[in-house]
Amino acid sequence: MDNEEIARRFNQMASLMEVRGEDPFRLRSYRMAAEAIETWPTPMSEIAKEQGVTGLLEIPGVGKALAGKIVELIDSGTFEAWERLTAETPATVLDLLSLPGIGPKTAAMLHQKFKIASLEDLRKFAEGGGLEMVDGIGAKTADRIKRSLADRK
């Protein structure tokens, strides 16, 4: 697993946590670590192999907990916190954020209130007129979401 993949997973973790309304400081720590990892000149796998967790702690924004997650990612392709989080909130919820008009709060509300966990779920919901009943989604935003969904077919 290369630095870019590790950074992408940490960013996904932060986004899922944001959708769930979790602690903004934890989100920021994942994002800051992701940014540092993505631009770090030495592969994380090389640092972990040669220096272990101690070497990873040299990277700005990477503390003991995140260093352990990096080692887990390198060794197994995943980490326990990711598995727990995606068991409760599917990673496909992140696809909702790719649509114009849907930010983390709207994605969270759609997932929590209407059990929408994927673009396909959202497409069915929109086709059934569900978007028009959602507080916070106006007619223009609903139309923009529907157009975006149609473009992705």
Give the per-residue SS3 of 71-109: HHHHHHCCCHHHHHHHHHCCCCHHHHCCCCCCCHHHHHH
Mean pLDDT of the chain: 92
Residue 52: count other Cβ atoms within 10 Å of its Cβ: 12
Q: Would you place residue 3 in the very low, low, confident or very high pLDDT band (cuts 50, 70, 90)?
A: very high
Q: Which of 48, 68, 88 is a domain's end point?
A: 88
61 and 120 fall within a common domain: no
pLDDT the model gives residue 35? 97
70 and 23 fall within a common domain: yes
Q: Would you place residue 136 in the very low, low, confident or very high pLDDT band (cuts 50, 70, 90)?
A: confident
C-alpha span between 145 and 140 (Å, rounded): 9
Residue range of the domain that includes 128 = 93-151
pLDDT the model gives residue 54? 94
Encoding tokens for residue 35? 């940014």
Residue 153: pLDDT over 80: no
79 and 138 fall within a common domain: no
Encoding tokens for residue 144? 């923009």
Q: Which residues contact 47 (CB under 8 A, 6 or more apart)?
A: 55, 56, 58, 59
10 and 68 fall within a common domain: yes
Average pLDDT score over residue span 93-112 = 87
100 and 124 fall within a common domain: yes
Q: Which of 72, 88, 104 is a domain's end point?
A: 88
Share of the chain above pLDDT 90, in %: 65
Encoding tokens for residue 112? 């929590």
The one-letter amino acid at 25:
F
107 and 83 fall within a common domain: no
Domains of the chain: total = 2
75 and 98 fall within a common domain: no
Provide the Cα torsion 122, 125, 131, 136; round to 10°: -60
Q: 23-27, 45-49, 103-107: which has the minimum mean pLDDT?
A: 103-107
Q: What's the predicted TM-score (pTM) here? A: 0.84
Q: 40-49, 89-98, 116-125: which has the minimum mean pLDDT?
A: 89-98
